[in-house]
Structures are given as C-alpha cells and as structure tokens.
Amino acid sequence: MKTTDESLGVRLQKFLASAGLGSRRACEKLITTGRVRVNGRTAQLGMRVRPASDRVTLNGRPLSAQRLVYAALYKPVGYTCSNRDRHAKRLAMELLPRDWPRAFSIGRLDRDSEGLLLITNDGRLAQRLAHPRHKIPKTYEVAICGSLTAAEMERLQKGLVIGGERMVADKVFAVRHAGEGTTFQMVLSQGKKRQIRVMLAELGHEVVRLKRLSIGPISLGDLKPGKWRLLSNEELAKLSRVG
C-alpha cells in the first residue's frame, strides 16, 4: 500500500506557521538557527511532523497548531502596527480579543494613518498577500491642504522619481475640493514606505488625513475606528484567488 503524505505528517515550516510564528521564511530561520526541536532533537529543514503525536518546541516551549483567524480591523490614528513596540503608546493588536491566538497584520499603516488592516495567523496567506510581485491594489482616501490640480494628478499617475526611486499611483479619482483643502482617492499597488505622504510632499502638499479603504477584494465597509469583524467565507475565497 502506497504511503500518503498525510501519514507522514505535515512539513515542519507549515506546522510552525499554523502555530502563529509568522511566514514560511521566518519559520525556516527559526529552524536553521537551532531554536526548534522535535521530540527532543534539533529540527532540520524539510522535516515532517505529526501534530497529534510529535512534541515540537521553540526555545524549550511546547507548540501546538492554533485555530486560524482572519479578520478586518479599523486601525485608528495613534495606533502602531506591531505586536510589540516598547516605544508605542498604543498597539493596533491590542484592539483584538485577548483570547485570540497570536496573529499579525497584513498591510501596515503608519501611526498617523487609519483604516483597514487584515489580521491573521495564517503565515502562508500573509506571505503571499504581502509579496510585492502580486501587486495587490490598495485604495486610500486622502485629504490634503490646497488644491490637487489636473497636472498633479497626471504626475502622480505617470510616476515620480524621489530619492532615486520611482513611485507611481495606479489611479487618482473622486477629487473633491472643499474650502482650503482637497479630498480624493488613490489606488496603489507598490507599497513603498509612506508612499502617499512622500509623493504628495514632492508636489508640495501636506497630507492631513490618510485612510485605507480596501486591500484587494476586502473593503473596510461600515467598520468604525477600533472595531473588527471576521472575514466571511466569500471574502476568504476571494483572497485565496489573489496572486
């Protein structure tokens, strides 16, 4: 009788990711640095484990597969996107239930920005969604001081070279002028650090509000600041087709 993959267990990296330890690359590093043991022996890349019977430890601490969670969170202004940061006053992850398994955010926002974060402990999904080659579009609502001209919109969409790096917006639309400011929406698929603020500063505009409305097929919807919701089966199916 042919031996099946199931009878051989699961790959160790996949098990570590299911225990909430991050992406495949991060889990591989834990293995290669000798921090993971299986049944008392130092683990090696390529090993398979049977979660029901094998004892897997990290730095001597037993590990077990966790239930996978997938959620949308509205990060308010003033919160830092990190699981741990001794310099941060408030962490976005603290807005989630305390009894949740250890999870992390997909798509960071700086402390002064707000809007959608995707939260999961599914390391493989997080790695795929975060990889730049997939160019997952993200939509933002932006408010600036002054007027955004048609010429500036064209420059944003054609791309700017800033500090030797080309930054480009996929689309700029829904422009509304009000008083001394302008509100509009911008779609990005690059994901450079503080990209929107940097691009608009290059044009002489200060961003006074920055809110992420969507990541790929997942929208913020009617979530309020500081609130979260679990993703639906339909949304998870759409995410599985991304990239």
- CATH classification at residue 188: 3.30.2350.10
**CATH number of residue 123's parent domain:** 3.30.70.580
The pTM of this model reads: 0.77
Same domain (yes/no): 144, 210: yes
Same domain (yes/no): 41, 57: yes
Same domain (yes/no): 41, 17: yes
**pLDDT score recorded for residue 170:** 97
Same domain (yes/no): 200, 87: no
Q: Which domain holds residue 50?
A: 7-62
**CATH number of residue 38's parent domain:** 3.10.290.10
Q: One of 99, 110, 112, 222 is an active-site residue; which one?
A: 110
**pLDDT score recorded for residue 85:** 67
Q: Of how many residues is the chain composed?
A: 243
**pLDDT score recorded for residue 211:** 98
User: Is 161 part of a structural domain of the chain?
Assistant: yes
Asked whether the beta carbons of 210 and 77 are under 8 A apart, the reply is: no
Same domain (yes/no): 149, 49: no
User: Is 192 part of a structural domain of the chain?
Assistant: yes
Same domain (yes/no): 127, 225: yes
Same domain (yes/no): 109, 225: yes
Asked whether the beta carbons of 206 and 165 are under 8 A apart, the reply is: no
Cα separation values, 197 from 1, 67, 107, Å: 61, 37, 16
User: Is 2 part of a structural domain of the chain?
Assistant: no
Same domain (yes/no): 128, 141: no
Across 80-113, b (16+ Cβ under 10 Å) vs e yields bbbeeeeeeeebbbebbeeebeebbbbbebebeb
Question: Is 222 annotated as catalytic?
Answer: no
**pLDDT score recorded for residue 23:** 74
Q: What is the pLDDT along the chain (243 residues), one digit of tens a residue?
A: 344 454 578 889 888 877 777 777 888 999 999 999 999 999 999 899 988 788 999 999 988 777 788 999 999 999 998 766 667 788 998 999 988 878 888 878 999 999 999 999 887 788 788 777 778 999 999 999 999 999 999 999 999 999 999 999 999 999 999 889 999 999 999 888 899 999 999 999 999 999 999 999 999 999 999 999 999 999 999 988 876
Same domain (yes/no): 108, 178: no
Number of folded domains in the chain?
3
User: Is 152 part of a structural domain of the chain?
Assistant: yes
In the numeric block, the tokens 């996107």 are attached to 81
**pLDDT score recorded for residue 4:** 43
What is the gyration radius of the CA atoms in the chain, in angstroms? 21
User: Is 1 part of a structural domain of the chain?
Assistant: no
Same domain (yes/no): 227, 211: no
Q: DSSP string spanning 204-225? A: T--EEEEEEEEETTEE-TTPPT
Same domain (yes/no): 142, 189: yes
